[in-house]
């Protein structure tokens, strides 16, 4: 078999066989096929696209290119959750303890943040001593004893995806539905959970800016998961403005804790309830949405979900006292209000720009080697649809440097768009894809 023939076949719009796809994935992972040939194939795929069967085969080949976690010795159904990412997206911090306190086991792989979108691991490391570099034995122990375990993605997990993504990133072939879906799902399948619930974001702060593109991606990923024998459900949610009010690692942890106490922002609660409901249904813990919602509400009202977060933090080496005393979490030296300079309704927020404000304060990474300041960020006081008067507080900046705070404030003003006409609040849940 020759790589030349595979490239030409896909260039001409023909469907690749399983043997051909596995040949190039395995050969490239081992370093036997050069970058320039795989680049040519990625460009051919970009223009000619892939069938559902090709996409499934590519996903499985990438998943099987490294370690496939076997969680079958953990009793019961295990669920994993993945978000396509966004600004202020702290849902895992609430979802995981909430569904675990309802009796569902969560085995989750997470990553660190790069750029202006935060990573779940970075947020959890706001707890003193929290560790995600777990062995497989420690990972399984967490699921068995607490009902939750979270670990960082290892180099052995879907190594083909890591190599292919780096190549796509520099050859302008990232933005293809099959390649995006196979990249995400290869890691989810390799992580070993029985069920997968996906939070697919859409809007100015999401990878998929257009709603129809987000639904198409959700369908592509649920098809892959279900065809692979993993029950997979996707919820398409709004990311046209930051989720919740807090943006920044420790600030988002504090907001998650408030939410587990029943005092979270309305939009954030809606997303958590929608995803949690689908997780309980997927894991056969609840029969329908009504039963699932009742269970989730009870977990918060009884304090069981908050206690589960404390147990989870302690199991992974963190200081559980910070769950009940969030003032012990990292705090910035400066808190500077940003005041409205005009009157009217907030009609739009450039979501990515708010993320960049946090990045400028030190709350994100521009390179993988950068160190994050866990204490900094912003807390929004006004969002889309709210009416503001001159002098009202739009947000509060949490900073450790006046210079960085000034930079972030300038960027913030450019991100907020205020008009005279009344503006509707956006729908948070766009739909569910099975």
- Quick check: is 187 catalytic? yes
> Is residue 140 a contact partner of residue 73, using CB atoms and an 8 Å limit?
yes
Distance CA 220, CA 218 (A): 5
CA distances in angstroms from 422 to 239, 313, 332, listed in the order given: 21, 43, 35
Kindly name the residue from 105, 168, 398, 430 that is annotated as catalytic: 168
Question: Catalytic residue among 161, 194, 311, 373, which?
Answer: 161
- In whole angstroms, give the CA distance from residue 13 to residue 9: 7
Q: Which of 182, 183, 204, 299 is catalytic?
A: 183
Q: Is 35 a catalytic residue?
A: no
Q: What is the distance between the alpha carbons of residues 195 and 106, in angstroms, rounded to a whole number? A: 10
Q: Three-class SS string for 406-429?
A: HHHHHHHHHHEEEECCCCCCCCCE
Q: d(Cα 210, Cα 179) in Å, to the nearest integer? A: 18
Residue 208 DSSP code: B
Give catalytic status of residue 168 as yes or no: yes
The CA-CA-CA angle for residues 265, 266, 270, to 5°, reads 120
58 in Cβ contact with 10 (< 8 Å): no
Which residue is catalytic, options 82, 123, 365, 430?
82
Token pair belonging to 42: 């990625």
Query: What is the Cα–Cα distance from 218 to 226, expressed in whole angstroms?
Result: 12
Torsional class of 224: left (φ above 0), alpha (ψ -120 to 50), beta (otherwise):
alpha
Q: Which of 187, 308, 365, 404 is catalytic?
A: 187
Which residues are designated catalytic? 82, 161, 168, 183, 187
């Amino acid at each position: 078999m020759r790589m030349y023939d595979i490239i030409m076949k896909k260039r001409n719009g023909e469907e690749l066989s399983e043997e051909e796809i596995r040949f190039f994935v395995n050969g490239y992972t081992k370093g036997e096929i050069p970058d320039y040939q795989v680049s040519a194939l990625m460009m051919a795929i970009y223009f000619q696209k892939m069938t559902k069967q090709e996409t499934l085969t590519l996903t499985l080949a990438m998943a099987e290119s490294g370690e496939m976690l076997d969680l079958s010795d953990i009793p019961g159904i295990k669920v994993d959750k993945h978000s396509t990412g966004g600004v202020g997206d702290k849902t895992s911090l609430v979802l995981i303890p909430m569904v675990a306190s309802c009796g569902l086991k969560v085995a989750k792989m997470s990553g660190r943040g790069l750029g202006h979108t935060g990573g779940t691991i970075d947020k959890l490391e706001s707890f003193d001593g929290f560790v995600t570099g777990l062995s497989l034995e420690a990972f399984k122990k967490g699921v068995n004893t607490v009902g939750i375990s979270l670990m960082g993605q290892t180099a052995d997990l879907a190594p083909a995806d890591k190599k292919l993504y780096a190549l796509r990133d520099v050859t302008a072939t990232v933005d293809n539905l099959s390649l995006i879906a196979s990249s995400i799902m290869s890691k989810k399948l390799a992580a070993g959970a029985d069920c997968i619930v996906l939070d697919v974001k859409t809007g100015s702060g999401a990878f998929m800016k257009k709603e129809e593109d987000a639904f198409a991606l959700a369908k592509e990923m649920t098809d892959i998961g279900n065809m692979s024998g993993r029950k997979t459900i996707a919820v398409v949610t709004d990311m046209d403005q930051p989720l919740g009010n807090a943006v920044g690692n420790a600030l988002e942890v504090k907001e998650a804790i408030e939410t587990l106490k029943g005092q979270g922002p309305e939009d954030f609660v809606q997303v958590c309830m929608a995803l949690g409901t689908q997780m309980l249904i997927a894991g056969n813990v609840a029969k329908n949405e009504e039963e699932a919602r009742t269970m989730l509400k009870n977990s918060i009202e009884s304090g069981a979900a908050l206690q589960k977060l404390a147990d989870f933090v302690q199991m992974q080496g963190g200081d559980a006292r910070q769950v009940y005393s969030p003032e012990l979490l990292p705090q910035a030296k400066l808190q500077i209000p940003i005041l409205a300079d005009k009157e009217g309704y907030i009609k739009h927020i450039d979501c990515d720009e708010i993320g960049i404000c946090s990045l400028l304060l030190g709350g994100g990474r521009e390179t993988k080697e950068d160190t994050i300041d866990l204490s900094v960020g912003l807390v929004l006081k006004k969002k889309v649809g709210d009416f503001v008067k001159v002098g009202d507080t739009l947000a509060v900046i949490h900073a450790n440097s006046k210079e960085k705070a000034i930079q972030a404030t300038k960027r913030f003003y450019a991100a907020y768009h205020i008009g005279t006409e009344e503006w509707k609040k956006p729908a948070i849940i766009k739909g569910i894809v099975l």
